[in-house]
Amino acid sequence: AISEPAATLRSSSVSFALIYNINVIGAVRLVQAFAPTMKAPDNPAFLFISSINGQMGAPGLSAYASSKGALDALTKTLALELAPSGIRVNAIAPASVDTPLLRSKFDNQPDPAGARAANVSRHRSVGSERRRMSPTSPCSSSPLKRHGSRAAFTRSMAARTWRAAERRSRHL
């Protein structure tokens, strides 16, 4: 993934296009290249790396956060489209990872230490809402069957997604 450490109003449309090309269109190209030859007996799957910021937003990283939100939507769509072929599509959404990209975001703030502390606090509030996924949960295994033939899929990205999947699984 790449990003431009800038607020939305200071980000260039060229940067947005480049970031979306890598973070979203790159996933599309990958699936288009490999999905046609993937076979169900081999337990095929795609796993994308999203970000908690795709759900929460990220001040100062609007292109990155919105591209990860787009990747989340793409993951859900692909899961529904590829489930009839037995291909699973999942994404994981880690919280902040100490990388040069994250450090540059903090360093570009008027108070880098304060920005880092606010980020940690923001992630802790989301982390307290999350539930631990069990190996038998509907979000961690093959696509679910609903109404006998239609496949439905959810993935474990954030607490809202988990709660929605839990509600759906009660109605199956």
Which residues have CB under 8 Å from 15's CB, separation 6+?
Answer: 4, 6, 63
Q: What is the DSSP string of 7-40?
A: -GGG--HHHHHHHHIIIIIHHHHHHHHHGGG--G
Distance CA(157)–CA(10), nearest Å, equals 29
Q: Which residue has the tokens 């291909």?
A: 87
Q: How far is Cα 71 from Cα 21, in angstroms, rounded to an integer?
A: 11
List 46, 48, 64, 106, catalytic entry: 64
20 is catalytic: no
Inter-helix orientation angle 62-82/26-34, to 10°? 20
Name residue 152's beta-bridge partners. 144
In angstroms, the CA 87 to CA 39 distance is 8
CA–CA distances in Å: residue 120 to residues 25, 84, 103, 136: 30, 40, 13, 30
Catalytic residues: 64
